[in-house]
Amino acid sequence: MSATTANAEDKPTHKIRAGFVGCGTIASSIATSLAKPAHQTHLAQNSLALSSIHVTRRSESKSKALKENFPDVVTVCETAEEVVRNSDLVFLCVLPQHVEGVLGELKEKGVWRKGEHTLVSLVSTSKVDDLIQKTSLPPNHVYKMICLPPIANREGCVLLQPPASNSENGLPFLKSMLDALGGCVECPTDDVMNAMMIPGCMMGSMYGVMRNTRDWLVNKGVPPQDASYFVGRSYLSIVQDAERNCNDPHRFDELIAEQTPGGLNEQGLRNLEKQGVFDRYDRAMDAILSRLEGKTDGNLDLE
């Protein structure tokens, strides 16, 4: 059962008992962010405190590392049932083909505590309505969440559906917790959630651009180590500049407008536009979305 205490300012503190069914990269990243001592201040500022973390053994390398790094709060469990019985906030982090079996077994064993347990699925193909049916938990205690591994360092942004903070029966602590771990955008519908997932699916594409830039420099005679270091640091500074005030929907337009007319940066952008690079980028995102929605296999025909 979740606990609530009072802090020095007499504000109630929500105690988090987190559980992870499945312990791969994403689960390990979220657990790490919750457990890091340096992050406890951010949780406390949102009237939250970590009580415990229970994780299933698989993947063993990840669960072992969590236990070694955070021995006072992490417990490695042999079964999903054990995780759920010792947690209030349960993250489902298994492969899509295992969801039915895992949730079916948990429901059969009667481990879910209605009104106390909250389920957050990290399975990209899961649907909230299906999760409610498979667990019999109240609708306001079932969510779908998407994030990337940098959450371990309070970086990136979490997607959460449905909203936890703005409904009469919501769970404000969940949104506050995710904000404390770096940031959260709430998605009201499946369609919005699916669309918001696509930029994260372009992570590999961004790495591909960086690799291509590195290789271009190497082909021009730059030592590989210098090329890699320069590209990584340069792209970091560019993204950091864009991240400032990024809640302003005009931020990126302003950065483009700052490029000197007729200058090298402005010319590079225009040359890409003339070649239809951004139209093709949109097509690539549309293709991934269509796969996510089950409409196509996501492959584009070569022209």
* DSSP conformational letter for 120: E
Mean pLDDT score, 228-233? 98
Q: Give residue 12's pLDDT.
A: 83
**What's the pLDDT at 171?**
86
Answer yes or no: is pLDDT of 9 > 80: no
Which SS3 state, helix, strand or coil, does residue 31 take?
Answer: helix
pLDDT of residue 125: 87
pLDDT tens readout for residues 49-69: 999 999 999 989 999 999 999
Q: In the predicted model, what is the mean pLDDT of the chain?
A: 93
Q: Is the dihedral of CA 105, 111, 115, 116 positive or negative?
A: negative
Classified as helix, coil or strand, 55 is strand
The CA distance from 218 to 112, in Å, is 56
Asked if residue 6 has pLDDT above 50, the reply is: no
pLDDT of residue 259: 95
* 72 or 5, greater pLDDT: 72
Q: What is the pLDDT of residues 287-303, one digit of tens each?
A: 999 998 989 999 998 76
The string of pLDDT tens digits covering residues 170-203 is 788 999 999 999 999 999 999 999 999 999 899 9
Per residue in 103-132, pLDDT (tens digit) is: 999 999 999 999 899 999 999 889 999 999
- Give the model confidence (pLDDT) of 42-51 as tens digits: 999 999 999 9
For 302, residues 6+ apart whose C-beta sits below 8 A from its C-beta are none
Beta bridge partner(s), residue 186: 160
DSSP type of residue 24? S
Task: Provide, for the chain, the percentages of residues in helix, strand and coil under a 3-state DSSP scheme, each rounded to the nearest 5.
Answer: 50, 15, 35
pLDDT of the residue at 300: 94
pLDDT score of 135 more than 60: yes
- Read off the pLDDT of each residue in 207-226 and give the average, rounded to a whole number: 98
pLDDT at 278 over 60: yes
Of 41, 32, 53, 37, which is closest to residue 7 (Cα–Cα)?
A: 41
Structure pTM? 0.87
Percent over 70 (pLDDT), the chain: 95
pLDDT-derived band at 168 (thresholds 50, 70, 90) equals low
